[in-house]
């Protein structure tokens, strides 16, 4: 069964509300650029605090974007909470530019574990350069357990 956009609207609202409570998203300055069923695009603008000593985006920023975007994508696919179980991240090129973008898409939406692919791009002078790729296993939370957890925010 394919859900209509109308069915997705409350899920999108909930995700944006919950992600808005993540202190690290605010600290880094990341934002949801696109959100759909099984899809999440996060981006972050260049600022000195996110760079390593050579002026490239720090690898940890790419890893954070992969971690968050893959989990969000998995959660939107099934309309439930999710946590990263593991991910494999391959750096392809230094991330030099004005903005870092991570596009995550669900490969297989499972009841207990979902598989999500993600690609990270750096934008410089309007041109995207593929800087990292990842594959993640995302643990799906059952709604009863997820509702018991209290947000620290």
pLDDT digits (tens, 9 = 90+) for 89-135: 999 999 999 999 999 999 999 999 999 999 999 999 999 999 999 99
Give the pLDDT band of residue 149 (cuts 50, 70, 90).
low
pLDDT digits (tens, 9 = 90+) for 48-59: 999 999 999 999
The reply to whether 55 falls in a domain is yes
The reply to whether 99 falls in a domain is yes
The reply to whether 114 falls in a domain is yes
Candidate from 53-57, 65-69, 77-81, 90-94 with smallest mean pLDDT: 77-81
The reply to whether 98 falls in a domain is yes
Indicate the length of the chain as a whole number. 153
If one compares 143 and 95, the residue with the highest pLDDT of the two is: 95
pLDDT digits (tens, 9 = 90+) for 4-25: 577 888 888 888 988 888 889 9
CATH number of the domain bearing residue 59: 3.10.129.10
3-state secondary structure of 36: strand
Residue for token digits 């090129």?
93
Sign of CA dihedral 55, 61, 66, 72: negative
Q: Is the pLDDT confidence value at 31 over 80?
A: yes
Cα separation, 30 vs 22, whole angstroms: 10
The reply to whether 129 falls in a domain is yes
Q: Which domain holds residue 111?
A: 5-148
The reply to whether 153 falls in a domain is no
What is the model's pLDDT at position 140?
Answer: 96
The reply to whether 37 falls in a domain is yes
In total, how many domains does the chain have?
A: 1
**Structure tokens of 59?**
């690898």
- Greatest pairwise CA separation for the chain in angstroms: 49
Give the pLDDT band of residue 1 (cuts 50, 70, 90).
very low
Q: Phi, psi at residue 68, to the nearest 5°? A: -75, -45
């Amino acid at each position: 069964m394919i859900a209509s956009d109308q069915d997705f609207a409350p899920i999108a609202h909930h995700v944006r509300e919950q992600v808005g409570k993540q202190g690290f998203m605010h600290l880094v300055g990341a934002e949801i650029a696109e959100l759909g069923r099984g899809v999440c695009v996060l981006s972050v603008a260049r600022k000195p605090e996110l760079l390593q000593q050579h002026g490239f985006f720090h690898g940890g920023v790419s890893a954070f974007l992969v971690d968050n975007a893959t989990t969000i994508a998995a959660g939107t696919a099934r309309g439930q909470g999710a946590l990263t179980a593991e991910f494999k991240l391959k750096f392809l090129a230094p991330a030099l530019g004005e903005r870092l973008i991570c596009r995550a898409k669900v490969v297989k939406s499972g009841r207990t574990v979902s598989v999500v692919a993600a690609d990270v791009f750096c934008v410089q002078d309007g041109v995207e350069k593929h800087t990292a790729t990842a594959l993640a296993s995302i643990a799906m939370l059952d709604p009863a357990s997820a509702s018991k957890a209290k947000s620290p925010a």
